[in-house]
């Protein structure tokens, strides 16, 4: 947050640097410092004076997005079909499979579900790669600025909207963030929902209620890929259950669905979900292999385009559920 402070992982951060004169601070950040003559204010941890929209829990150890309540909807959509599968479908599988193989089907389903929920929590509760705000604008290096740049109309130092920096021997253009008062590193973007600059920002995921960035992207990818596996697992054994009913009663498929309607409901539900999360998994595999991020390769996620992608479809589905609950 200034004075050499950085936000990294689970480090404890204290605002113990020498207070800066108030007249050198911007209006948006003057409130961070509080009363500079108050010793208690100088010992506040950074999360207690954070200017973004994040929600901190357990002394700042857990960092959630402002829409963390959507996490309960996601957990509900994962747990309910698993509970239905274990309560209704698995009973016939336990009876029909020999050598207690039916019990292993249920145990694997429960373990896979627990794995998905843990990954969901790790994705939602981790710092995605937030870059702390500066208390005052960086030093002007003598760059010129056009008159139509908004920052040139306000009091304070005039800073160019972009500047060139050297990264691995290549010249890269970085943008200035007026909210965080810093030049963003390459592939860093400002999330309007969390109101933070996030390093290697991929997108803000409404399903986990958190930005996806440098420090939680691996957990997000493991979450969507594991959810795909869970959907396919339940889908496959629901079909096995239907086939066993058909063999036992020598009936057709529709009669089997009538004898086990839960299996039919779960087959339809998991097929639809597998299409969404499977599409996301394939899409992010493509991004990983091509070294891209979703915000640049899929502008439709930000509602800038009407082209149909897994991100666009998933967000539309989330808005449908959220608006009807």
Task: Look at residue 313 in the predicted model and tell me its pLDDT.
Answer: 55
Which pLDDT value is given to residue 141?
A: 60
Q: Which residue has the higher pLDDT, 253 or 324?
A: 253
Please tell me the predicted confidence (pLDDT) of residue 92: 87
- Quote the pLDDT of residue 319: 53
Q: How does pLDDT run across 253-285, given as a tens digit for each residue?
A: 999 999 999 999 999 999 999 999 999 999 999
What's the confidence (pLDDT) of residue 312? 53
pLDDT for the residue numbered 304:
32
> Which pLDDT value is given to residue 307?
43
Give percent of the chain above pLDDT 90. Answer: 53
pLDDT > 70: what percent of the chain? Answer: 72
User: Which of the following is catalytic: 109, 205, 231, 238?
Assistant: 205
With a cut of 50, say whether residue 4 has pLDDT above it: no
Q: State how far the Cα of 281 lies from the Cα of 287, in Å rounded to an integer.
A: 10
Average pLDDT over residues 285-300: 73
pLDDT of 48: 84
Q: What is the mean pLDDT of residues 281-300?
A: 77
CA distances from 65 to 71, 252, 257 (A): 10, 49, 42
- Which whole-number Å values give the CA distances from 27 to 30, 197, 233, in the listed order? 5, 18, 54
**Core vs surface per residue 4-26: b (16+ CB within 10 A) or e:** ebebeeeeebebeeebbeeeebb
Under the banding of pLDDT at 50, 70 and 90, the label for residue 308 is very low
pLDDT of residue 162: 84
pLDDT tens per residue, range 183-217: 999 889 999 999 999 999 999 999 999 999 999 99
Contact status, residue 83 vs residue 107, Cβ threshold 8 Å: no
- What is the average pLDDT value for the chain, to the nearest integer? 79
Find the angle CA(60)-CA(61)-CA(63) to the nearest 5 degrees. Answer: 75
Residue 296 pLDDT more than 90? no
Is residue 205 annotated as part of the catalytic site, yes or no?
yes
Task: Taking residues 297-307, report their average pLDDT.
Answer: 40
Whether residue 230 has pLDDT greater than 90? yes
Q: Which has more pLDDT, 252 or 157?
A: 252
- Count how many residues are written for the chain: 325
Contact between 67 and 206 under an 8 Å Cβ cutoff? The reply is: yes
Among 94-108, 186-200, 283-297, the least confident range:
283-297
């Amino acid at each position: 947050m200034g004075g050499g402070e950085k936000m990294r992982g689970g480090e404890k951060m204290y605002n113990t640097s020498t207070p800066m004169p108030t007249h050198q601070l911007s209006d948006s950040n003057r409130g961070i410092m509080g009363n500079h003559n108050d010793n208690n204010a100088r010992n506040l941890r950074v999360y207690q004076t954070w200017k973004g929209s994040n929600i901190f829990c357990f002394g700042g150890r857990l960092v959630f997005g402002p829409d963390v309540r959507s996490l309960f909807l996601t957990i509900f959509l994962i747990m309910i079909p698993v509970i239905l599968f274990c309560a209704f479908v698995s009973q016939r599988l336990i009876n029909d499979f020999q050598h207690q193989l039916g019990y292993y089907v249920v145990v694997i389903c429960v373990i896979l579900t627990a794995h998905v929920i843990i990954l969901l929590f790790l994705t939602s509760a981790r710092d995605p790669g937030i870059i702390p705000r500066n208390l005052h604008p960086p030093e002007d290096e003598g760059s010129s600025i056009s008159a139509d740049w908004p920052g040139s109309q306000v009091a304070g130092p005039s800073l160019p909207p972009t500047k060139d920096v050297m990264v691995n021997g290549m010249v890269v253009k970085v943008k200035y963030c007026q909210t965080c008062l810093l030049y963003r590193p390459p592939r860093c973007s400002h999330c309007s929902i969390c109101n933070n600059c996030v390093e290697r920002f991929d997108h803000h995921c409404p399903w986990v209620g958190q930005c996806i960035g440098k420090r939680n992207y691996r957990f997000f990818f493991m979450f969507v890929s594991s959810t795909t596996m869970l959907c396919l697992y339940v889908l496959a054994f629901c079909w096995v259950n239907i086939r066993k009913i058909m063999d036992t009663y020598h009936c057709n498929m529709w009669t089997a669905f009538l004898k086990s309607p839960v299996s039919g409901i779960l087959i339809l539900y998991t097929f639809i979900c597998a299409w969404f999360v499977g599409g996301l998994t394939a899409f992010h595999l493509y991004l990983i292999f091509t070294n891209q991020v979703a915000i640049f390769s899929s502008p439709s996620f930000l509602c800038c385009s009407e082209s149909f992608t897994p991100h666009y479809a998933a967000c539309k589905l989330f808005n449908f559920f959220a608006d009807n609950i």
